[in-house]
Amino acid sequence: MSTHELAAALVGWIGGGIVNYLADVLPTVRRLSRPICPDCRETRRWQDVILPQACRSCGRGRWLRAWLVNLFLAGFSLYLWTSPPASLGFWPSWIALLYFATVFVIDFEHRLILHSTSLFGFGLALWIGNLRQGWTATLLGGLAGFGIVIMLYLLGMVFTRLRARRLQAANLEPDDEEAFGAGDVILATILGLMLGWPLAWFGLLFGILLGGVVSAVLLVILWLSGRFHPWATFIPFGPFFLTSAFLILYAPQLVRFLVPK
């Protein structure tokens, strides 16, 4: 491994620390504070976040997530250094990688897409989109992302009403789950801007497909374990949109079957 490659992996590891810090702090206090433990809210030391260590006061600290994020970002930064996506280069790709990882972890852990990350995402997506495909295709991609998912969102609202009625009829507590949330609409717009037209369309479709396949597998598992209730199971789509856009952006050779020439 050359010095440059070692540096790239190290930069990735530090990026992992930043992602872990943001994923601990943003959903809990909604601003950039000193590092805190999301479980007991005690202040943590920076070196415990970067390395990463369990919380010194409650012993927890989501170290499995922390290590996975650090290792993934270190490995992926090394990959970006050796083969950065065409027309982006290392640093824009690296910053976008941090955005993807942060939104993914927060959505996965809290089923939440925060306004702060979305605001950052809009700026980032305009920059990345313009680097990749110029303004016109970027703005068209954003419009497509917004249009496709807002339609699904409206459909989802009808479904949610129906579902609330079924839950009541089945004597289950109605909840406020939505098939698609407003956060998904915002996320789809951001990813649409990044991918540009016409890739936005393929990216979202692939994301919905991925979500559908994983949901189907989960439903079968629930059904086999006797916990299946057709009106009481929902999958958040955010992580699937992120995964799909991530693959198209960083590893188009893996998803060539859906990327038009």
Interacting residue ranges for Zn ion, rule: CB under 5 A: 37, 39-40, 55, 58
CB of 111 to Zn ion, least distance (A): 22
CB of 48 to Zn ion, least distance (A): 10
CB of 25 to Zn ion, least distance (A): 13
Nearer to Zn ion, 50 or 55 (CB): 55
CA end-to-end span of the chain: 35
Exposure letters 68-77 (e unless 16+ CB within 10 A, then b): ebbebbbebb
8 Å CB contact between 54 and 37: no
Nearer to Zn ion, 37 or 249 (CB): 37
Nearer to Zn ion, 40 or 172 (CB): 40
33 DSSP assignment: -
- Rounded to 10 deg, the angle between the 3-29 and 115-169 helix axes is 50
Here the tokens at position 173 are 């507590």
Nearer to Zn ion, 44 or 163 (CB): 44
CB of 36 to Zn ion, least distance (A): 8
Nearer to Zn ion, 37 or 69 (CB): 37
CB of 13 to Zn ion, least distance (A): 23
Please, which residues bridge with residue 36 across strands?
A: 43
Instruction: Count how many Cα atoms sit within 13 Å of the Cα of residue 56 in the half-sphere of its side chain.
Output: 10
8 Å CB contact between 193 and 137: no
